[in-house]
Structure 1
Amino acid sequence: MASLWRKAKLALCYSVPRSMVDDDRFPQLSERVSHVSLLSQPNDAASAWMSRSSSRKRDFEKTCSICLATMKPGEGHAIFTAECSHSFHFHCITSKVKQGNQICPVCRAKWKEIPSESPDLDPRGGRSRVFPADIPMQNNAMMTVVRRLPSSPRNSSRHVIPLFHAAEPAVFDDDEPLGRTEASQKVNSDANGNLAKIIGIRAYPEFSSVPRTKYCNEFTVLINLKAAVTNTTQKSGEDQGLQSVSRMPRTPVDLVTVLDISGSMAGTKLALLKRAMGFVIHNMSSNDRLSVVTFSSTARRLFPLCRMSESGRQQALLAVNSLVANGGTNIAEGLRKGAKVMEERREKNPVASLILLSDGQDTYTVNGSGGNQIAPIDQLLLPLSIQDSKRSGLQIPVHTFGFGADHDSFLMHSISENSGGTFSFIETEGAIQDAFAQCIGGLLSVVVQEVLVEIECIHPSSYIQSVKAGGYSSQMMGNGRLGVIDIGDLYADEERDFLVQLNLPIESSGNHTSLLKVKCFFKDALTKESFAMEGEEVIIGRPDSSTGQEEGSILVDRQRNRLRAAEAMSLARAAAENGSLGDAISVLENCREMLVRTISAKSQDRLCVSLDAELKEMQERMASRHVYEASGRAYVLSGLSSHSWQRATARGDSTDSSSLIQAYQTPSMVEMLNRSQATLMSSPGQRLVRPGWQLNALKPR
């Protein structure tokens, strides 16, 4: 009898339609109802118990069986009622369904139709008939991630943790197999059989001629590399612009995003992050693979590396939309788990990268906020030194994004610098999608990898004194006769400029001097073929006497100004961290005065003008200790990151210095930014873009 009572209690907690009891698919329900029928004549105690159970049942029906929160209309939460008549919060049940479970968590009934957040498709590929009335749907396909914020202040601080997460495997070797690479083509040759140029190499001496009797101790030569958008199969003179970038077969990418979902991300921040991730997901191809890792007090992998096919996109969108914000900020654990996904994958796409976003200080592992203890950071990055090429120590770059005024810019910048990635400062919430768009616009356009530049002296009496390579590793060998710069990957149409200083000897005879020859070794990212290309020799004229004061090359001068500005930023930051904001401002002011006197500034060179605007912006962000802590430090570090790698980063919220950001933009970045802003403009009430983002790339030449 006790067993029957237990079964009666269980049965009375459910609301079961009669049609389901008679259905052969639910024998367990028929069994429960048959046991209840034995209690059709209960005694008084049983009647009282059943009355109380009925009351509890009514209260039960007003709560979500997953999160146990109330389900009242008008609270800003969509309610999903299943075909078995049980109701749940829409976001709660989708977080369960995305794991592949189609069984009601209450009555265990198997559903024929499951809730989907896409207005067009459900995860099985068919039409979805579930459209919650209080969730605004968007016409744009990217807007399948629902962004309904709680309207009740009473619930704004309540963080509901989705249940039923699938257990993570011990080893992350469950990545989806690679897709078939698009049109893997051999590198073409022109009519004369010459190798079609994938990289262009040029060298510009500081002066085109120097008297033969003059000795120069620091003669400067500019080495310029530019990755081609297309090969020479294009018609002569054809515009290598945005359309060419879009139509080119490109290299597939493995991308892991490590996202902060701590309590400080609740509300608008998390909604905008979901929107930005929706944009990323919809702009990856079926050959690209994505994995999402989230962290708060702990870290969790939402799903393994999956190809962004139609079904993969749906899975990714459902996973991202299930995110809720709570807990602390454990950046170290999130980064370790992201590195684990990359390190233990069975198959590898040619291009791999991590994106790390956080809006707060690490509260668990790493000392932050301008400290000098970077040993923990080195330990974090140790798993990222993945040996997947012939070169040892090849790292996977981590592109970090500091979100808001409270993030640890020192930590985020250090992580990016140590891994070869960039650091972006997202000052305003509405700029997050554009920042992601610019980043993936580059990642999805890698054309060459493992780029090495070799600089060799030709004249027997000359030797290299220094190589100004920014953040790129360089070394000199053979008593300065040979220099090597390790560049790594280049995006389509991306440029790199390096200044080489060497001695210019006296020429006893002849009317010219051969100084340098430059070689470039690289691997085509799409075909994986290795190549070596040699540029033209650097030759300068050596007349008997000077014909007058020759003005130096403006191309060399502008790059010298870039390096001077970057050095001034570094010195100013050091002074600010030591507590002397006055000295920091003076360093920046002195650099601005020096830039004004250069030949590139006198010719109104746009790079020089934008450098001056950026230095001025930094001065303003050092007006007080409060301003510097809130935004100045992050602004300076993002600028240093951009100049160090000669790659575009998002920084601050200033229209004055936006042109400098464009100086390193590539056509693919601009195209992706255009897509992002077109998406935002087509979404009513979502125009949250800061005015500093401009759409036209400003080319340095």
Structure 2
Amino acid sequence: MAFNDDEKPPASNVGSTKGLVTITTPTYSKDAAALTADEVTAVVELNATSSTAVREGLDLVVVLDVSGSMRGEKLQSMKRAMQFVIMKLTPVDRLSVVSFSSSATRHCPLRSVTQQAQTDLKAIVDGLVANGGTNIKAGLDTALAVIAGRATTKARTPNVFLMSDGQQTDGDARQVDPGNVAVYTFGFGKDADHALLSDIAKKSPGGTFNSVPDGGNVSAPFSQLLGGLLTIVAQDVQLTLTPKTDDPRDLDTMTVAPGTDYTQTTDGDGVITIKFGTLFSGETRKVAVNFTLLESSDTDDYDAPLAEAQHSYTVQGAVQNQTPQDILINRTANPPAEDAVSGKARTVLAEMARRQHAGAIGEAREMADGKKLEDARYKLSDAQNALEDIVLNDGEKLVGMLRAELQQLLDLMETQELYEAEGRPYALASETSHGRQRYAARGGDMDAVRLFATPRMDTYLEQAKKFEEDPTAPLPSADDDVKEEMAANPIAAISAPIAFYIRVAIQALQEIEQLVAPSTK
């Protein structure tokens, strides 16, 4: 299956590509390590710029379930959600519509979303009719063929929205390899195969599974992911961690802590590479690294080099390799007591607690899937108690959302029937959200748990609510959203490159200082 008939869109916004993704100074689980053999965890954080002045063009293929079970309000809700999507896109973006029931149909190639294309695309969606079985694999295969056949790919990001409300009746969608295409899946209602849709999303780079309960509207979860996809500031984002093995040597071992779901490789020299895929404006990726330290032969305090962190990304078709940064830990004969950690150290402990929290949700889901509902509830209650031990200066918002997430899941585990209808999809969405550090709609109250949501997502959620109330009201385009953001913060577009050049200057001064200063070790 090959198409190769995608329309050529205008170029996306071009501007400075410097500083769109940056590394913050690593934070540690303790303020200093001992001179004796010791262990420490460092969190390396990648941050995407908050500006949306420069973004990659969006190539979106929506794969819509039009099987017989979608008749009635489900189909109408899906159509309203698609109207929202179409109205938000701009000529820089391209959209293709694929529907599936017993087989799949591509209704149009990737079209640049001009005003005329919007009219045509709305007519395509309005004309969809529900009938037949549920061949999810056929729909996904067709969408990936559309993307594989693109003639224009530079500075463009390929993405798929896959929505279904039922169990697959033909083929096995788990066998489909999405390659480098992000697939965002939406389970609509209690009869959807949520586990399958979650597995599909996890096989793709950066994709998430999203839950839409029976009676819920699709506009809100669609809008959230669209708010991210229309603000992609970098592709192929990756972090390389190179262990310091110079003589004298402080580092014994270096490993990445579990709790995230990214592609990770380690070469023969112990160099770890982590691939994140795309980053939305305002998104953050935290990598926790465990270091085991050897006993030091020194008797005085000093900064021990443990590793070198370097990140890279692609934007506007060009690879940006950033300046490496050293990961250093102060070693001292008198390290602070464990109960005397600073605010920075507490943020690391909070991140590790969040990962344990996500792990507890996964364990509870497996228990509930095995009909051990009481054990699952005990596991979630234990996780709630663990959150009480987190002491933060400015992290109450995070802890509040984690508590709300656990409470919602506990409520959805009151009975096995309720769990299977709503609790399982809620848990699966939570797991992919934590694993990818990316927002996913969990179902239920979308205002209570906004983990990993970006400012544009918050804006689009409010727009989607108003749209559901009155679909005929005017809706600002993505270009209008950028203009509003720029008006509210005029220096946002230049803040990232300015900060980049300041960091480069500081690093240069530090390197000069090291060259002229006498060695302290």
What is the match of residue 498 of structure 2?
Answer: none
The count of residues paired between Structure 1 and Structure 2 equals: 462
Match of 1:551 among 337, 341, 344: 341
Match of 2:176 among 380, 400, 403: 380
Map 1:648-667; keep pairs closer than 5 Å.
648-654=439-445, 658-660=447-449, 662-667=450-455
Instruction: Provide TM-score, normalisation by structure 1.
Output: 0.63
Matched, 1:181 2:181: no
Deviation per CA, 1:434-481, whole angstroms, max 9, x where unpaired?
11111111011111111110112236241203433611022333454x
Distance 2:157 2:131 in 1: 33
Matched, 1:528 2:317: yes
Distance 2:239 2:395 in 1: 31
Offset of residue 327 of structure 1: 1.4
Match of 2:66 among 246, 261, 266: 261
Map 1:502-541; keep pairs closer than 5 Å.
502-509=291-298, 510-512=300-302, 513-524=304-315, 527-534=316-323, 536-541=325-330
Deviation per CA, 1:55-110, whole angstroms, max 9, x where unpaired?
xxxxxxxxxxxxxxxxxxxxxxxxxxxxxxxxxxxxxxxxxxxxxxxxxxxxxxxx
Offset of residue 255 of structure 1: 0.6
Report the CA distance shift for 1:547/1:666 in structure 2 as closer, same or farther (over 3 A). closer
Q: Which amino acid aligns with 2:43?
A: L
Deviation per CA, 1:369-404, whole angstroms, max 9, x where unpaired?
xxxxxxx51x222xx32xxxxxxxxx2011000011
What is the match of residue 122 of structure 2?
Answer: 317
Distance 1:302 1:222 in 2: 46
Match of 1:582 among 361, 374, 379: 374
Matched, 1:625 2:416: yes
Deviation per CA, 1:212-234, whole angstroms, max 9, x where unpaired?
2x322x4100111101134xxxx
Report the CA distance shift for 1:173/1:548 in structure 2 as closer, same or farther (over 3 A). closer
1:579 is paired with a residue whose SS is coil
Match of 1:597 among 389, 394, 401: 389
What is the match of residue 138 of structure 2?
Answer: 333
Deviation per CA, 1:104-140, whole angstroms, max 9, x where unpaired?
xxxxxxxxxxxxxxxxxxxxxxxxxxxxxxxxxxxxx
Match of 2:158 among 349, 352, 358: 352
2:169 is paired with a residue whose SS is coil
Offset of residue 321 of structure 1: 0.7
What is the match of residue 163 of structure 1?
Answer: none
What is the match of residue 397 of structure 1?
Answer: 182
Matched, 1:485 2:274: yes
Match of 2:289 among 495, 500, 504: 500
Map 1:206-225; keep pairs closer than 5 Å.
206-212=29-35, 214-216=36-38, 218-225=39-46
Q: Which amino acid aligns with 2:10?
A: R
What is the match of residue 406 of structure 1?
Answer: 191
Distance 1:614 1:634 in 2: 13
Match of 1:450 among 236, 245, 252: 236
Map 1:165-176; keep pairs closer than 5 Å.
171-176=2-7
Instruction: Provide TM-score, normalisation by structure 2.
Output: 0.84
Higher relative contact order (CA 8 A, sep 6+): 2
Q: Which amino acid aligns with 1:417?
A: K
Runs of at least 5 residues in structure 2 that lack an aligned partner in the other structure: 474-521
Report the CA distance shift for 1:326/1:548 in structure 2 as closer, same or farther (over 3 A). closer
What is the match of residue 67 of structure 1?
Answer: none
Distance 1:646 1:504 in 2: 29
Distance 1:490 1:609 in 2: 25
1:304 is paired with a residue whose SS is coil
Kept in 1, the 8 Å contact 2:190–2:422? The answer is yes
2:332 is paired with a residue whose SS is coil
Deviation per CA, 1:9-62, whole angstroms, max 9, x where unpaired?
xxxxxxxxxxxxxxxxxxxxxxxxxxxxxxxxxxxxxxxxxxxxxxxxxxxxxx
Distance 2:69 2:123 in 1: 22
What is the match of residue 433 of structure 2?
Answer: 642
Distance 1:432 1:471 in 2: 26
Kept in 2, the 8 Å contact 1:219–1:502? The answer is yes
Distance 1:470 1:508 in 2: 36
1:609 is paired with a residue whose SS is helix
What is the match of residue 359 of structure 2?
Answer: 567
Report the CA distance shift for 1:264/1:183 in structure 2 as closer, same or farther (over 3 A). closer
Distance 1:413 1:281 in 2: 25
Report the CA distance shift for 1:603/1:257 in structure 2 as closer, same or farther (over 3 A). closer
Q: Which amino acid aligns with 2:41?
A: T
Matched, 1:471 2:471: no
What is the match of residue 364 of structure 1?
Answer: 170
Q: Which amino acid aligns with 1:665?
A: A
Distance 1:396 1:267 in 2: 32
Structure holding more strand per residue: 2
Map 1:63-212; keep pairs closer than 5 Å.
171-176=2-7, 178-187=8-17, 196=19, 198-212=21-35
Distance 1:479 1:298 in 2: 49
Deviation per CA, 1:475-503, whole angstroms, max 9, x where unpaired?
333454x2221111101111001110011
Distance 1:495 1:440 in 2: 18
Q: Which amino acid aligns with 2:28?
A: P
Offset of residue 197 of structure 1: 5.1
Match of 1:292 among 89, 97, 109: 97
Distance 2:472 2:265 in 1: 54
Distance 1:560 1:215 in 2: 22
Offset of residue 311 of structure 1: 1.4
Q: Which amino acid aligns with 1:415?
A: I
Distance 2:135 2:466 in 1: 35
Kept in 2, the 8 Å contact 1:458–1:514? The answer is yes
Report the CA distance shift for 1:399/1:582 in structure 2 as closer, same or farther (over 3 A). same
Q: Which amino acid aligns with 2:258?
A: K
Distance 1:516 1:207 in 2: 17
What is the match of residue 670 of structure 1?
Answer: 458
Distance 1:684 1:456 in 2: 55
Report the CA distance shift for 1:400/1:565 in structure 2 as closer, same or farther (over 3 A). same
Deviation per CA, 1:227-272, whole angstroms, max 9, x where unpaired?
1134xxxxxxxxxxxxxx3xx1432111100001112111111111
Distance 1:207 1:430 in 2: 45
Distance 2:383 2:328 in 1: 32
Q: Which amino acid aligns with 1:579?
A: K
Report the CA distance shift for 1:650/1:183 in structure 2 as closer, same or farther (over 3 A). closer
Q: Which amino acid aligns with 1:625?
A: Q
Match of 2:50 among 206, 229, 247: 229
What is the match of residue 63 of structure 1?
Answer: none
Kept in 2, the 8 Å contact 1:200–1:227? The answer is no
2:358 is paired with a residue whose SS is helix
Kept in 1, the 8 Å contact 2:364–2:379? The answer is yes
Distance 2:294 2:280 in 1: 38
Distance 1:204 1:608 in 2: 19
Q: Which amino acid aligns with 1:477?
A: D
Distance 2:335 2:21 in 1: 39
2:61 is paired with a residue whose SS is strand
What is the match of residue 165 of structure 1?
Answer: none
Report the CA distance shift for 1:215/1:659 in structure 2 as closer, same or farther (over 3 A). farther
Report the CA distance shift for 1:295/1:228 in structure 2 as closer, same or farther (over 3 A). same
Q: Which amino acid aligns with 1:346?
A: A
Distance 1:613 1:516 in 2: 37
Kept in 2, the 8 Å contact 1:256–1:293? The answer is yes
Percent of pairs with identical residues: 30
Match of 1:616 among 392, 402, 407: 407
Distance 2:120 2:335 in 1: 71
Distance 2:186 2:414 in 1: 24
Offset of residue 548 of structure 1: 4.6
